[in-house]
Structure 1
Amino acid sequence: MKSLGSIMWFDPFRPMDFPQAWLPDPYILALTGAGFLIALVVWLPTALRRLPLSLPIVCIALGAGLFSFPQITLGPLPVRYPELTERFSEFVVIIALMGAGLKIDRVFGFRRWSVALRLIVVTMPLSIAAITLIGGWGLGLSWTVALLLGAALAPTDPVLAADVQVGPPKSEDEDDVRFGLTAEAGLNDGFAFPFVHLAIALAASAATGEPWLAEWIAVNVIWEIVAGIAAGYLIGRAFGWLTFHMPAESKLAKTGDGLIAVSATFVSYGLTEIIHGYGFLAVFVTALTFRHAHRDHDFHVGMHELVEQIERLMMMALLLLFGGALISGLLAPLEWSDAAAAFVILLVIRPIAGLVGLIGHDAGWRERLTLAFFGIRGVGSIYYLAYGLNHMPVEGGDRLWAIVGLVILMSILMHGLTVTPIMRRLDRSRGLDPDES
């Protein structure tokens, strides 16, 4: 005869049975967590609108708290998942680039876009050069690795810079500061790539002795930039015609489905990468061209809203993992010189390079300082470092991740805590009421 205990599925007098019986299924936990994450995506931007606090700061704190639970044994360090880190950050960036391009109202022109072009042509190369010198002389890195670090940390991030960017399409919230930072973030993710490839080419040449300069200039500089711009323009024109200019009964704008912007993102990035062009640059150009196919159509608002929601969701997921990486030891390899370099990169190099790039620009000192200060570092830096480490041999990759992680963390904290008061003060100086919505 079986004992009573042998036929009962749960014995309240055995404490080990209780956790086993009531432990939630991991799928259920993930589903619940996703629900809370989506709710935060919707609610937090409104709740934080007037506070000196940013959504990325909250996400990192939540991620650190979540991964501090002993039940969660996953340590989301990028050195453990190099391919996943590269692809996930890549996906977040291309979505952000489409959103940035769609919300710019200003038609492209060298004079009208001069503030952004100054930041691309002058500020970014100066930043790359300065960071490379710090990495080579100050941190003892090899020059190729120092160049990779400079290329990763120079671009302004299109994902985390939402609070300093222009408003939605047709919102008329496009002053020179917001426009400049939005356009810079959209363009520099394409123009920083040649320097990443330069580091890779130098590393390969050092290992094999083969010449690199002609191929780098012809392929990585000329072809990939030209191909990115041309492909982005043609794909944007095609999607613009399909959406707004086909016969009335079949044009895509009739559907009211903003998913077409996601389609344009993937098609633009995929086709451009197939022909070995810069996909980041192509996506931004596609968004600009798509936006100007019918500049006053309300459908742009719907497309931007959908892209922005996807961007925020993916950004929050990535920053939760970033918070988990921080408490899992991401910053452990840091040396004191690395921490000092991070301060110099954010508080000296970017502001000075920004002001140099803006010499002669027709703007007041307040606007110039704001443009120079808000060189936010984030997801783009994660992607470029992951791409470089996955394509060239590097010793001490964990130290590079620690340096980039610290710069991103400092940027998120410094810029996140100051963006609301600075931008509100800037609006007041222009005679606008920042509380009007």
Structure 2
Amino acid sequence: MSEFFKIDAHLLLIAIAGIMALLAAVVPEMLKKLHLSAPIIYLILGGIAFWISGAGVIKPLRQLEEIKYITEFVVLVALTNAGLRIKDPFKWSTWKYSFRLLIIAMPVTIAAATFLGWWVVGFAPATALLFGALISPTDPVLASELQTSEPGKEDTSKVKLGLTAEAGINDGLAFPFTWFAILFITKGPDYQNWLGEWFLYYFLLKIAIGVVVGLLCGWLLYKLIFSISNKDTIGKISRGILSLALILLPYALSEIIGGYGFLAVFFAACIFSDYEKHIEHMNNLHDFNEELESFVVAVIFIGTGVFIAMHYELLFDLQILAVALLMVLVVRPLAGYISFINTGLNHFQRFALSFYGMRGIGSMFYLAYALTSAEFDEPKKLMAVTTATIFFSVLIHGVSARSVQKRIKKYDATNEDAK
């Protein structure tokens, strides 16, 4: 009888993975008519699972290395999807609004978050700098309703295109500022000893390597796949295997050479989206990536829900709550709105582009990356304020995104008819 109904950790993990896969398949479909996003449900389910089963059965990812590798893969999948979505990725008209978010809103957000982390939460300067860096990138996963259309479908929305392009590139641009915090704590506050190294190597060179490797790798992959294939065989190429190659190869090559892999993956996907000849296959790639993304998002946010349930008392800390809400409701919206002065955008477009700078999985990756690279003060409190910011972003943006999407569609349709 001992062979029946036995439960061990390995089998339990397999069962949990199966449940998460089922949720990833069902939950997004169930929510299509509701004003909710899937991550909100996953957070709630993670909290419920913890309270029902207790920490003895379901545990969050306590190992930072595990968090880093899982969130890394989620971001890679999301960046590939963002790159495949962007039509005409090498035209200035595609980037003119997101460029302002990158050079104005992102630095302002980093500076404001650093100040709030130091002044309100009481972080040491290096930890406050890290908080500013990791909370700055816009997440390409959350509120996908506000991303531009999938490959092959025309989308004239300046708001959707701007948010997708920004999210695709600033997940990589957060790396130099994360390294600034790491160098600050490892080499000391006397920045004159390492500022030149940071700017030349961690900022200029690593960004350039990531972009160049991504463009070359994307071009080579595209030529390799579609030059050796004909009309009869191209449809037989596995979209899953090709998608994984597009995700993994640019990232690995860029990191090996010394560049930022996130940028390489995004620009490699942009190369694919720039060709319309094989748009049907691009749609297949995008569809597979979305399925893969749905599963890993379920895993991450259920785990986040468990963490919130375990450390819920930290989320009632008034300092943490204040900083999290200020980041979501004031800092990013204000920084974004300032970025679009004298652009010709109306108030609604400026609001949507500014307010929906969502915080999410990229922040979790940078948190884990930095904490495994150097010893920062108060890591538990840093994790709490980061998680709280993500929680409020998921809740506020997820609940309101669908309504805003409808208004964007109505506005764009009205403008198109007026032309």
Q: Is 1:96 matched with 2:96?
A: no
- The answer as to whether partners of 1:253 and 1:299 remain within 8 angstroms in 2 is yes
User: 2:14 & 2:181 partners in 1: Cα distance?
Assistant: 42
> How far apart are residue 422 of structure 1 and its match?
1.6
Which structure 2 residue ranges, 5 or more long, are not aligned? Answer: 415-419
Moved more, 134-143 or 328-337: 328-337
Task: Answer with 358-367 or 404-413: which moved more.
Answer: 358-367
Q: Give the secondary structure class of the aligned counterpart of 2:314.
A: coil
Quote the offset at 1:73 in angstroms.
1.3
Which residues in structure 2 correspond to 1:255-266 (within 5 Å)? Answer: 255-266=237-248
TM-score by length of 2: 0.92
Per the TM alignment, residue 31 of structure 1 is displaced from its structure 2 partner at its CA by: 4.0
Structure 1: runs of 5 or more not aligned: 1-8, 11-19, 433-437
The amino acid of 2:52's aligned partner reads: F
Please report how far the alpha carbon of residue 27 of structure 1 lies from its aligned counterpart in structure 2 after TM superposition: 4.9
- Alignment deviations for residues 81-107 of structure 1 (CA, whole Å, 9 cap, x no partner): 111111111111011111111121233
Q: Which amino acid aligns with 1:95?
A: V
Cα gap change, 1:60 to 1:237, in 2 (>3 Å): same
Residues 1:214 and 1:208: Cα distance change in structure 2 (over 3 Å): closer
**How far apart, in 2, do the equivalents of 1:331 and 1:276 lie?**
41
Residue aligning to 2:18 = 35
What is the identity, as a one-letter code, of the residue corresponding to 1:282?
A: A
Change (3 A) 1:399 1:227: same
Q: 1:404 to 1:337 in 2, by over 3 A?
A: same
For residue 156 of structure 1, what is the amino acid of its counterpart?
A: T
Q: Considering fraction of residues, name the structure with more helix.
A: 2
Indicate whether 1:361 and 2:343 are aligned.
yes
Out of 102, 105, 115, the residue aligned to residue 123 of structure 1 is 105
1:67 aligns with 2:50: yes
User: Quick check: 1:63–1:320 contact (8 Å CA) kept in 2?
Assistant: yes
Q: Would you say 1:157 and 2:143 are equivalent positions?
A: no
The answer to whether 1:400 aligns with 2:382 is yes
State the distance in 1 between where 2:384 and 2:103 align.
28
Deviation at 1:223, TM superposition (A): 0.6
Does 2:34 correspond to 1:55? no
* Residues 372-407 of structure 1: per-residue CA shift (max 9 Å, x gap): 110111100001111111112212100000000100
Secondary structure of 2:152's partner?
coil
Shift in CA distance, 161/269, structure 1 to aligned 2, threshold 3 Å: farther
Equivalent residue for 1:46, pick from 18, 21, 29: 29
Q: Distance in 1 between matches of 2:343 and 2:59?
A: 43
Contact 1:355 1:372 in 2 (8 A): yes
Mapping for residues 24-423 of structure 1, pairs under 5 Å: 24=7, 27-70=10-53, 73=56, 76-77=59-60, 80-206=62-188, 211-246=193-228, 248=230, 254-294=236-276, 296-329=278-311, 332=314, 335-423=317-405
Q: Aligned residues: percent identity?
A: 33
Residue identity matched to 1:177 = V
SS at the partner of 2:311?
coil
* Equivalent-residue separation in structure 2 for 1:32 and 1:247 (angstroms): 40
How far off its partner does 1:207 sit?
Answer: 7.8
Residue 129 of structure 1: how far off its partner (Å): 0.7
Change (3 A) 1:215 1:47: same
Contact 1:258 1:303 in 2 (8 A): yes
1:249/1:167 CA distance change after superposition, 3 Å: closer
Q: Which residue of 2 aligns with 1:4?
A: none
Of residues 178-187 and 250-259 in structure 1, the stretch that sits farther from structure 2 once superposed is: 250-259
| Residue 292 to residue 124, structure 1, CA distance change in 2 (3 Å) | same
Query: Bigger radius of gyration, 1 or 2?
Result: 1
Distance 1:378 1:230 in 2: 27
Q: Secondary structure at the match of 1:332?
A: helix
| 1:4-23 equivalent positions in 2, closer than 5 A | 22=5
Residue 127 to residue 251, structure 1, CA distance change in 2 (3 Å): farther
1:30-67 per-position Cα deviation (integer Å, ceiling 9, x unaligned) = 44443333233223222212211110011111111122
RMSD: 2.3
In the TM superposition, what is the alpha-carbon distance from 1:77 to its structure 2 partner?
4.7
Distance in structure 2 (CA, Å) of the matches to 1:204 and 1:425: 48
The SS at the match of 1:111 is: helix
Q: Distance in 1 between matches of 2:349 and 2:126?
A: 35
User: Whole-Å Cα distance in 2 between the matches of residues 264 and 85 of structure 1?
Assistant: 23
Distance change (3 Å), C-alpha of 1:179 and 1:331:
farther
Aligned counterparts of 1:99 and 1:249: Cα–Cα separation in 2:
25
Q: With the length of structure 1 as denominator, give the TM-score of the two structures.
A: 0.89
The worse-fitting range, judged by mean Cα deviation, of 102-111 and 234-243 is 102-111
Partner Cα distance (1:239, 1:405) in 2:
37
**For 1:110-158, what per-residue CA distance to the aligned partner results, in whole angstroms no more than 9, with x for missing partners?**
2331011111111101100111111122222122111100011111011
Provide closer, same or farther for how the CA distance between residues 276 and 25 of structure 1 changes in structure 2, counting only shifts above 3 A. same
